[in-house]
Structure 1
Amino acid sequence: MAANSDRRVPQDGEPASSSSSTLADDHVSEKAAGYPSSVRDGGKTKDKRSKEDEVSSTAAADVADDVEYPSGIKLGFIVVALVLGVFLLSLDMTIVATAIPKITDEFRGLDEVGWYAAAFFMTAGSTQSTWGKIYKYFPLKLSFLIAIAIFELGSVICGAAPSAEALIAGRAVAGVGAAGLGSGAYTIVAFSAPPRKRPAFTGFLGASCGFASVVGPLLGGVFTDHVSWRWCFYVNLPVGALSALVILIFFKTPRQAAPVQAPLLEKLRQMDPLGIVLMMGATVAYILAVQYGGVAHAWDSSVVVGLLVGFVAIVAAWAGLQWCQGERSMVPPRLISDRTNLVMSLVSFVLAGGYFAVIYYIPVYFQSLHGASPTMSGVRNLPLIIAVTASTIASGAFVSATGRYQPMLIGGGVVATVGAGLLYTLELDSPAGAWIGYQVVAGLGWGASFQTPMIAVQGSVSTKDLASATGMLLFFQAIGGAYIVSGAQAAFVNQMVGHVTKNAPRVDLRTLILTGATEIRHAFPTDQQPVVIDGYMSGIKVVFAMCIAATGIASLGSLATRWNKLQRDKTAAGGMA
């Protein structure tokens, strides 16, 4: 089979071709979320396969026969390197949460907390689609190494950050690298293992995600307690360097992964740089508006109103650009106009945002109000993380066995809503049984529902659109994290300030906002501490209330999905029955 260096660049409004590279990318996008290929969607009946499916399957088989895959120790080293890379990516999303209260102590302030998560999710989401195209139009191996380098650079900036602003900048840089690291890892594994072995190796990558989610809060607590919170970022350096070194030595880019030949200008246009700039600009305007509103400026002030108007205007410009650019856009209009894709994108937006808000604020509850150390805070956070991991695995198995994703999507959303409601009832003196049980309920719900939008989207598009559809959904998940977590931070601060101002007018508001989350018992006189602590509890309740709203919206929105069954026997090209 000839190398695909002569592949034609798709024009505006034209779907990507089913070339060997595209087929590999489709398989990667399917496995990137850790879902079995058996849940994909193909024809209208169980026993009939469309001609397109047959052609795709034949082409995939030809690719498998023609590719010379690494084997033995060489393959083992490559898989281990990719597992380490995905582990770092997943670890970075949870390890910071436990350290945030201590970070606020050093940088003296709660007003920047929302940025620590939002900056990462903003850049990761905005560049998700771009990285997919980078791997298509530029050398695979070099692009992956550059992604690791960017992620490592962001980690260095975060670890050495002298201020909150520097830490936020580092998180933004790390988000860009993380987007490329994740998609690149699954791309490389697709070109390193033959189709029959690929599920096992992609399963290793998925397992590393779950493991990182469990150990992240613990590791963050241990570093923060016994070394420094900065090691939550420095730990990425040796592991990332080892992963890059192994890929550099052992991975050889196959000719099927050769870059698509196109003029440089066309390659850059495919990256949708203006779309990235507009989305980041809109996100920054939104975060600044909710950060300033009610604290630095009144909600009806010209500054806040101007930022909100700017946010709406930029989003409108971004949406118009996406429509005009067609297939070059990060959210192709042809895909988002489909009912299932639209519903699942919106559901993913609110589900992800609510989940990450809980992840970032439960440590504040334990460390600020219960006085727990970062290590013990990580231990107390385990019920949620373990429940999410176990439920995610179980829901994937259920969908694989039954072909039905709707029960997990809707039922999981309802359980997550109940769990968020239970978390809302937590008080200062809630017993261990309460915060353990409530986290388990919430975790079971989020775990069951979090992955199912991806399954639904992948089951509603044709094989050639899998990569684009997957990138689109990951974009909405990441942006949801940025918007809802920053909104939760604004709600937390506004509620806390309002409560303290009402019940203890003599408390200095500047001190209240600039005091670290674990120093509130030392920064205020004894007679003011109860009011401040109650203010924190009041603010955390508002965050959990937002999570109730987010999961409730997701549950209701899920009802709009199609009620078709995913065909379990479609492993090469799927469809809805």
Structure 2
Amino acid sequence: MAASTLEYEETKSSRSFDNEVLQGSNYSVIGDEPVPSKDEGTSNADIGQTSTGRDSDKLDVQYASGGRLAILTLGVCLGLFVVALDSTIISTVIPTITTVFDSLEDVGWYGSAYLLVLASLQPSFGKLYTVFDLKKVYLVALVIFEAGSVICAAATSSLMFIIGRAVAGIGASALLSGSINIIAYAVALENRAAYNAGVSSMFAIASIIGPLMGGAFTDKVSWRWSFWLNVPVGGVAFFVVAFFFAAPRRTSKITLGEKLANLDLLGALSFIGGTICLLLALQWGGAVYSWNNSRVWGLFLGFGLIMPVFVTIQIKRGKRATIPASIVKQRTVLVSILFTFLHSMASYTHIYYLPLFFQAVEDTSAVVSGIRLIPYLVSNTVVAIIMGIYVNRTGSYYYLIWIGSTFYSVGAGLLSTLDINSSTAQWLCYQIITGMGRGAGQIPFVAVQVVLTPEEIPIGTSLVMLSTSLGGAVALSISQSIFNNDLVKEVSKYAPSIDPSIVVDTGATQFRDVVPTDALDGVLRAYSKAIDIVLIPPIAFAGLSLIIALGIERLNVKAKQSATPDVDASD
């Protein structure tokens, strides 16, 4: 089995591929892409340096190849699949769980317990991956996730189920960025884009399969199998990563005390607290409580007071911070974070409200609405993989993000025109165009790996992953508020004889049972108009992401690969 070993000598003052290096005298420009120039006396070792402040410290990265790489990729995909599945399968399982535990008032916590922990812990796990052994942290996280799944599957009460969801969220938080990090340390940078696209496609696959599997388990076997399923699949992932992944190693020993000193515990706690305040405020506002309720604005106030403390801690901690300012200020990293945040806002709105359009306006079942969403998700996955292969062959990626954002903006605009009279060809083609644009969403993971050192990659990828979670949470809160308000207004306009509260309270799949036949057409138009209005903000999100993407550095993956230390291959 062939393995390539790269040694990165670390010094106190250097950061490989920092903006100053890329734009300085050590690089020349051919076309739009910088390539290394050796005229200034810069050696490969100089370019490969990282920054832990230990002169004798070296990081050995062993890339996998052949069958070993194929098996490892499959294992990582399975690990990410169960995480993605856990956040989608719950949608069709919740109604049965509330009946079993008589816990309708706990519905919000079934999703929140998982998502709050998942989002708030991502930067902390990104930091853990830089301090402790990557493989060990990933495997421990997988065990925690599996434990949470078992608790959910064996739950005897609503509280036990909520606890299980929170425990699973802890593990999932580490597995999300951990999966990308394993690929980063197993695949050479010039070949990494296609593998990243394949791993990221697990989200799209889970979005399709999750609700269908949840419904099938609930109807045919038991809702508990929606969580028992994670045990064997996660077990395979554990075995594969444990035996086929060679984690990057340090040649010098760092004591446990030094590792703990590198952890930013106070910063992590403040970030977790601030993030939970923000997400709870967004989830409760306009849904559980009114926006002017003291609980909601109190949470926003808490977020506003805690986050400045977090920022201050990060500045003072420097390179030992949970989110070092030197990483966030790097242009490509900042662009990638903002771009992913906006893309996620548009994507979550589409994935949640297009099925609502199919079920409420076109009177399809939940299963059929999921099937109708396949064009969006499949075109997303196919284009992401094609883009990854293209990056592997050419090394160029920055203009793909521009092309993708353009398609995404056009597709989002077309989706907002769907109405009660739209044909099958329209919603099919509109979704394909939008999905093709969404395929560029995996490019930021490649971009941050081009400009960051090997040690910084875990933090960079965790920040991009965090922006995905936060973008979705913010978008769904905004969308819910817009939809609820506009549905009431449109029902009053198109079906004045109907009390809007009746339509809102009965839900999208049952309002036909309570609305008189002569008023049904008006209510359907009201639903269609309300959904159209919800689909307008994604146009702005996608357009803004295009503007922000113009700021990405025009670099080349192969240019960086050629500038790293010489590779010694061994069989």
TM-score after normalising by structure 2: 0.76
Q: Which residue of 2 aligns with 1:36?
A: none
Tell me, in whole angstroms, the C-alpha distance in 2 between the residues paired with 1:298 and 1:447: 37
Instruction: Kindly state the Cα deviation for residue 554 of structure 1 after the two structures are TM-superposed.
Output: 0.9
- Contact 2:10 2:58 (C-alpha < 8 Å) held by counterparts: no
1:103 to partner: Cα distance: 8.4
In structure 1, give the amino acid aligned to 2:120.
Answer: S
Structure 1 stretch 325-334 or stretch 51-60: which is displaced more?
Answer: 51-60
More strand by share: 2
Q: Deviations over 1:506-551 (max 9, x none)?
A: 6373x65554543333355556655554454344323312211211
Q: Distance in 2 between matches of 1:280 and 1:528?
A: 48
Distance in structure 2 (CA, Å) of the matches to 1:210 and 1:116: 25
The 5-angstrom pairing of residues 52-451 of structure 1 reads 52-53=44-45, 56=48, 63=60, 80-92=74-86, 94-95=88-89, 120-138=114-132, 140-156=134-150, 170-185=164-179, 206-210=197-201, 213-214=204-205, 216-225=207-216, 226-227=219-220, 231-245=225-239, 250=243, 256=249, 261-264=254-257, 267-268=259-260, 270-294=262-286, 297-448=289-440, 450-451=441-442
Structure 1 counterpart SS, 2:128: helix
Inter-CA distance 239–360: structure 2 relative to 1 (3 Å threshold): same
1:136·1:260 contact (CA, 8 Å) conserved in 2? Answer: no
- Structure 1 177/302 Cα, relative in aligned 2: closer, same or farther at 3 Å? closer
1:547 to 521, 538, 547: 538
The Cα of 1:430 is off from its aligned counterpart by: 1.9
For residues 286 and 37 of structure 2, the distance between their equivalents in structure 1, rounded to whole angstroms, comes to 56
**Quick one: which of 539, 542, 561 aligns to 1:571?**
561
The CA distance in 2 between the partners of 1:455 and 1:445, in whole Å, is: 17
Deviation at 1:468, TM superposition (A): 3.0
**Bigger relative contact order, structure 1 or 2, given CA contacts below 8 A and separation 6+?**
1
Change (3 A) 1:214 1:77: closer
Report the AA paired with residue 358 of structure 1. Answer: H
Asked if the contact 1:101–1:518 (Cα under 8 Å) also holds between the matched residues in 2, the reply is no
Does residue 1:474 correspond to 2:465, yes or no?
A: yes
Measure, in 1, the Cα distance between the counterparts of 2:161 and 2:148: 9
Task: Tell me, in whole angstroms, the C-alpha distance in 2 between the residues paired with 1:519 and 1:293.
Answer: 25
Query: Given that residues 122 and 478 in structure 1 are in contact (C-alpha distance below 8 angstroms), is that contact kept between their aligned partners in structure 2?
Result: no
1:217 CA drift (Å): 1.1
State the identity %.
32
Question: 1:447, CA displacement in angstroms?
Answer: 0.8
Relative to structure 1, the CA distance from residue 523 to residue 403 in structure 2 (aligned partners, 3 Å threshold; closer, same or farther) is same
Say whether the 8 Å CA contact 2:193–2:443 is kept in structure 1. no
Q: Deviations over 1:313-372 (max 9, x none)?
A: 233333233223222333211122233332332122111222122222222222333232
> What is the Cα deviation at residue 209 of structure 1?
4.0
- Checking the alignment, whether the CA contact within 8 Å between 1:133 and 1:271 is kept in structure 2 is yes
Structure 1 length normalisation: TM-score?
0.75
Could you report, residue by residue, the CA deviation over 1:29-50 in whole angstroms, capped at 9, with x for unpaired residues? xxxxxxxxxxxx9855499894
Query: Which of 479, 483, 490 is residue 488 of structure 1 equivalent to?
Result: 479
The amino acid across from 1:261 in the alignment is: I
1:472-527 residue CA offsets vs partner (Å, 9 max, x unmatched): 32222332222223332333233334444665586373x65554543333355556
In 2, Cα distance between equivalents of 1:258 and 1:76: 28
Distance 1:413 1:108 in 2: 45
What are the Cα deviations for residues 266-305 of structure 1, in whole angstroms up to 9, with x where unaligned? 6456443444443343344334444454555554454444
Residue identity opposite 1:256 in structure 2:
R
> Could you tell me how far apart the structure 1 residues matched to 2:259 and 2:345 are?
32
Q: 2:513 aligns with which of 522, 528, 531?
A: 522
2:76·2:199 contact (CA, 8 Å) conserved in 1?
Answer: no
Let me know the Cα RMSD of the aligned residues: 4.7
Question: Is contact 1:83–1:204 with CA below 8 Å preserved after alignment?
Answer: no
The structure-2 alpha-carbon separation of the partners of 1:214 and 1:305, relative to structure 1 and needing over 3 Å to count, comes to closer
Q: How far apart in 2 are the matches of 1:61 and 1:257?
A: 5
Larger displacement relative to structure 2 (431-440 or 323-332): 323-332
Letter in 2 for 1:414: T
Cα separation, 2, equivalents of 1:386 and 1:95: 18
Change (3 A) 1:556 1:319: same
Q: CA deviation at 1:469?
A: 2.5
1:366-411, Cα deviation, whole Å (9 max, x unpaired): 2333232233222211100111112212223444445443422222
Tell me whether 115-124 or 485-494 shows the greater mean CA deviation.
115-124
State how far apart, in whole Å, the 1-side matches of 2:435 and 2:316 are. 40
Alignment length, in residue pairs? 534
2: CA distance, partners of 1:314 / 1:57: 35
- From 549, 552, 557, the equivalent of 1:561 is 552
CA drift at 1:178: 2.0
